[in-house]
Amino acid sequence: MKEFVQILADALSVGSLYALTALGIGLIFGVMRLINFAHGELITFSAYTLLALFGLPLPVMLTGALAVGIALALATERAAFRPLRNADPTTLLISSFAVSFFLQKLLVLLVGSRLKGLNFLPELGRKVELSGVRLQLLQIVTVAVSIVLLVGLTWFLRATRLGLQMRGAAEDFRMARVLGVRANRVIATAFALSGILAAAVSCLIVIQTGVVQPRMGLQLVIIAFVGTVIGGLGSLPGAALGGFLVGVGSILLQALLPPDIRAFREAFVFIGVALVLLFRPQGLIPAAGLRERI
Residues at the site binding other proteins, with contacts judged by CB under 8 A = 33, 35, 80, 83-84, 87, 89-91, 93-95, 97-99, 101-102, 105-106, 108-109, 215, 218, 222-223, 225-226, 228-229, 233, 263-264, 266-267, 270-271, 273-275, 277-278, 281, 292, 294
Kindly report the backbone phi and psi dihedral angles of residue 133, in degrees, each rounded to the nearest multiple of 5, phi listed first. Answer: -110, 135
The C-alpha atoms of residue 187 and residue 162 are separated, in whole angstroms, by 10
Tell me the closest approach of the beta carbon of residue 187 to other proteins, in angstroms.
17
Tell me the closest approach of the beta carbon of residue 19 to other proteins, in angstroms.
17
Give the largest Cα separation in the chain, rounded: 59
The C-alpha atoms of residue 114 and residue 243 are separated, in whole angstroms, by 28
Tell me the closest approach of the beta carbon of residue 28 to other proteins, in angstroms.
12
Runs of H (alpha helix) within the chain: 2-32, 39-52, 58-76, 89-111, 137-159, 161-171, 173-178, 183-209, 216-231, 236-256, 265-279
Helix (H, G, I), strand (E, B) or coil at 252: helix
Nearest to other proteins of 161, 293 (CB atom) = 293
Nearest to other proteins of 130, 263 (CB atom) = 263
Nearest to other proteins of 130, 267 (CB atom) = 267
Nearest to other proteins of 48, 120 (CB atom) = 48
Nearest to other proteins of 9, 229 (CB atom) = 229
Tell me the closest approach of the beta carbon of residue 156 to other proteins, in angstroms.
26
Helix (H, G, I), strand (E, B) or coil at 111: helix
Nearest to other proteins of 1, 294 (CB atom) = 294
| H or E stretch covering 133 | strand 133-136
User: C-alpha distances in angstroms, 271 versus 130, 171, 172, 264?
Assistant: 36, 31, 33, 11
Tell me the closest approach of the beta carbon of residue 263 to other proteins, in angstroms.
4
Tell me the closest approach of the beta carbon of residue 105 to other proteins, in angstroms.
4
Within 13 A of 258's CA, how many CA atoms are on the CB side? 2
Nearest to other proteins of 135, 223 (CB atom) = 223
Tell me the closest approach of the beta carbon of residue 233 to other proteins, in angstroms.
6
The C-alpha atoms of residue 95 and residue 190 are separated, in whole angstroms, by 18
